[in-house]
């Protein structure tokens, strides 16, 4: 009986440790995306910067185009909007040339067509 109780306690303890580790990981990842990421200066909703949940929800509700257009309206003259931890959208050719620039990162020949 005592061994069963100890076994049950150890399983609960392991579950608590696993959940705690998952929470700490999620918190550290959110802090990184908000404050340390190379694209942290690109404007957009903070909740979109830490997770893809917002973009996925908009896609599943078939509201993605309207939501992205509303983001462009919200940020006015800003033409680049962050919609996910590693997703950026833009609507002008200057931003496109910055993103697809061949000089910054190694790109295939496919991306050179965007530099026209």
CA angle 86, 88, 93 (to 5 degrees): 145
Do 32 and 55 sit in the same domain of this protein?
no
Do 48 and 95 sit in the same domain of this protein?
yes
Do 23 and 53 sit in the same domain of this protein?
no
Do 18 and 71 sit in the same domain of this protein?
no
Give the largest Cα separation in the chain, rounded: 76
The predicted structure's pLDDT at residue 94: 72
Do 111 and 54 sit in the same domain of this protein?
yes
Do 113 and 57 sit in the same domain of this protein?
yes
The predicted structure's pLDDT at residue 60: 94
Distance CA 93, CA 114 (A): 9
Do 30 and 46 sit in the same domain of this protein?
no
Residue 91 confidence (pLDDT) above 90: no
| Mean pLDDT within 35-64 | 89
Do 48 and 78 sit in the same domain of this protein?
yes
The predicted structure's pLDDT at residue 31: 95
pTM, entire model: 0.67
The predicted structure's pLDDT at residue 72: 86
Do 53 and 103 sit in the same domain of this protein?
yes
Do 11 and 65 sit in the same domain of this protein?
no
Do 9 and 64 sit in the same domain of this protein?
no
User: Which range of residues forms the domain containing residue 25?
Assistant: 1-36
The predicted structure's pLDDT at residue 22: 94
CB 114 within 8 A of CB 100: yes
| DSSP 8-state code for residue 35 | I
Do 9 and 49 sit in the same domain of this protein?
no
Number of domains present in the structure of the chain: 2
């Amino acid at each position: 009986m005592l061994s069963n109780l100890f076994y049950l306690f150890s399983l609960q303890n392991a579950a608590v440790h696993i959940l705690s580790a998952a929470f700490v990981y999620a918190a550290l990842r959110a802090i990184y995306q908000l404050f340390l990421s190379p694209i942290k200066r690109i404007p957009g909703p903070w909740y979109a910067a830490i997770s893809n949940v917002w973009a996925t929800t908009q896609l599943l509700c078939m509201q993605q185009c309207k939501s992205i257009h509303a983001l462009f309206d919200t940020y006015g003259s800003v033409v680049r909007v962050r919609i996910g931890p590693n997703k950026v959208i833009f609507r002008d050719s200057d931003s496109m040339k910055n993103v697809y620039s061949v000089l910054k990162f190694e790109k295939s020949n496919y991306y050179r067509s965007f530099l026209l």
